[in-house]
């Protein structure tokens, strides 16, 4: 074609695609009007494009939505990029803004450090608390813990929002943080008889319940109550304050576990599973496939439903742990103090020794008499039965024999 046509087929194709302009476009246009072969080729090319258009694609799924949070990240990254490349301009032009940014950065770093420490925080008071006012001393760590929890909430909020809304259709909002609280309290109490009713009263007032509790009253050991109490997190601190008043606190510790990531993960999985179930249900309703396809969709729906129920069960269990804090409580009865009179004098010790010796001798005599009384009847019986016949035999045959002794 090149030999007889001034227009190559590829040029004609480019012309039809709008890829040729200027004089070349005019030349091809003019040539095409009078060339049957090129008109045929153009028709074939148009026909091919037309047939390709017959492959239509279904509508865009409604779940394909704009990625909102990534958008925010992009904006933040954009701002950071501008700061990173031109920090000196900001410092020079707006020193106040630069100072505020420095303070904000310091606060953010401090919050991050506090958050890191607060994620698995244990506050132990030890036995030294008994030397001072237990209520006043024990309130301080509790307040510190609560404050750290609030700081953690503020510091982590953005992160949690970002993670939680990273998916397309979360059905459940997940504000954070979610903290599971556990505390241990050991108390030595004087008036032990009133302890159990007091514990019940405090527990009832806080709306809590007994997980397990055991009372011990053995001779020679102080009475005690040991158990696990579940107290609503909202009333946990108040209940702890009241319980500390029951006696002398010997151990008071609190542990927090940040389960926000788990909660977020569960919520997102649950939301996604529900979306999947909904989609599958729609597919089943429309059912354009064969029986095998329908069965496959039904199996998939059953699998997703099982997943949803598992996620819901895990979420409920987590909710219970979040709603009710755990308190391991041990209350021991306080024993009466022993009297210490100092070292015993030597005469007293001698008197005690003589008295102990006489007492020991009398005890020995008594024990010997008791022994003889226990053994004598049996010995008498055996001597009578065997000793006397033996003696008679000895005298009869041994002592009277000639040449005998």
Partner 1 sequence: MTDDQLILQARSGSREAFEVLFERYRGPIWQFFRRRTVDVGRAEELAQDTFVVLLESASKYEARGVFRAYLFGIAYNVLSADRRKATRRRTDPLDFDPSSPKGDPDAGLWVRHALARLDEDDREILMLREYDELSYQEIADLRRLPVNTVRSKLFRARMALKAALVPADDSVRMKR
CA 305 to chain centre: 26
What single DSSP character describes residue 185?
A: E
Q: Bridge partners of 225?
A: 215, 331
Q: Please state at what angle helix 36-52 crosses helix 22-34, rounded to 10 degrees.
A: 110
Cβ atoms < 10 Å from Cβ of 208: 19
Interacting positions 76-135 with partner 1 (CB under 8 A): 77-78, 81
* Minimum separation from the CB atom of position 299 to partner 1 (A): 16
Q: How many residues make up the chain in this entry? A: 405
- Exposed/middle/buried for residue 274 (C-beta within 10 Å: 0-12, 13-18, 19+): buried
Nearer to partner 1, 50 or 220 (CB): 50
Task: State which residue, 235 or 305, has the beta carbon closest to partner 1.
Answer: 305
Q: Binding pattern to partner 1, positions 146-185, x when CB under 8 A?
A: ----------------------x-----------------
Beta carbon of residue 315, minimum distance to partner 1 (angstroms, whole number) = 24
- Tell me which H or E stretch contains 288: none
Q: How far apart are CA 250 and CA 330, in angstroms?
A: 10
Site string for partner 1, 283-322 (x = CB under 8 A): -----xx---x-----------------------------
With contacts defined by CB under 8 A, name the span among 27-35, 44-52, 216-224, 325-333 that binds partner 1: 44-52
Handedness of CA 24, 28, 30, 31 (dihedral sign): positive
Check residue 194 for interaction with partner 1 (CB under 8 A): no
Give, as ranges, the residues between 5 and 24 that touch partner 1 (CB under 8 A). 9-10, 13-14, 17, 19
Q: Which listed residue (73, 154, 317, 360) binds partner 1 by CB under 8 A?
A: 73
Coil/strand/helix, residue 227: strand
Q: Which of 22, 48, 343, 404 binds partner 1 (CB under 8 A)?
A: 48
> CA 66, CA 284: separation in Å to the nearest integer?
27
Stretch that binds partner 1, among 62-70, 102-110, 172-180, 358-366 (CB under 8 A): 62-70
- Residue 302 token pair: 């059953």
The token duo for 338 is: 């022993």
Residues that bind partner 1 (CB under 8 A): 9-10, 13-14, 17, 19, 44-45, 47-49, 51-58, 60-61, 63-64, 66-68, 70-71, 73-75, 77-78, 81, 168, 288-289, 293
């Amino acid at each position: 074609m090149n030999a007889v046509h001034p227009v190559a087929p590829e040029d004609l194709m480019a012309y039809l695609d709008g890829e040729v302009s200027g004089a070349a476009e005019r030349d091809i246009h003019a040539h095409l009007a009078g060339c049957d072969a090129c008109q045929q080729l153009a028709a074939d090319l148009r026909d091919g494009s037309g047939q390709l258009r017959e492959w239509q694609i279904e509508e865009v799924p409604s779940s394909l939505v704009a990625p909102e949070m990534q958008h925010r990240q992009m904006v933040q990254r954009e701002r950071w990029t501008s700061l990173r490349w031109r920090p000196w301009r900001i410092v020079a032009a707006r020193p106040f803004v630069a100072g505020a940014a420095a303070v904000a950065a310091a606060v953010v770093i401090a919050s991050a450090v506090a958050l890191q420490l607060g994620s698995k925080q244990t506050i132990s008071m030890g036995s030294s608390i008994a030397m001072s006012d237990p209520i006043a001393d024990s309130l301080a760590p509790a307040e510190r813990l609560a404050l750290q929890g609030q700081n953690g909430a503020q510091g982590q909020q953005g992160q949690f929002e970002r993670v939680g809304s990273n998916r397309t259709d979360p059905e459940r909002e997940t504000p954070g943080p979610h903290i599971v609280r556990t505390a241990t309290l050991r108390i030595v109490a004087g008036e032990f008889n009133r302890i159990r009713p007091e514990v019940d009263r405090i527990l009832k007032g806080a709306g809590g319940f007994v997980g397990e509790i055991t009372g011990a009253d053995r001779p020679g050991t102080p009475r005690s109550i040991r158990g696990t109490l579940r107290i609503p997190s909202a009333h946990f601190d108040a209940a702890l304050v009241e319980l500390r008043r029951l006696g002398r606190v010997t151990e008071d510790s609190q542990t927090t576990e940040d389960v926000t990531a788990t909660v977020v993960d569960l919520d997102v999985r649950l939301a996604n599973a529900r979306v999947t179930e909904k989609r599958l249900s729609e597919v089943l309703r429309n059912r354009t496939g064969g029986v095998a396809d329908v069965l496959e969709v039904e199996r998939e729906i059953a699998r997703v439903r099982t997943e949803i129920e598992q996620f819901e069960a895990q979420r409920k269990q987590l909710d219970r742990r979040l709603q009710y804090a755990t308190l391991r409580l041990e209350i021991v009865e306080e024993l009466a103090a022993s009297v210490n009179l100092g070292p015993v004098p030597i005469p007293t010790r001698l008197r005690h020794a003589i008295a102990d010796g006489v007492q020991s001798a009398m005890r020995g005599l008594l024990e010997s008499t008791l022994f003889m009384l226990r053994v004598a009847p049996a010995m008498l019986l055996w001597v009578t039965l065997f000793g006397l016949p033996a003696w008679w035999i000895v005298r009869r045959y041994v002592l009277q024999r000639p040449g005998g002794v």
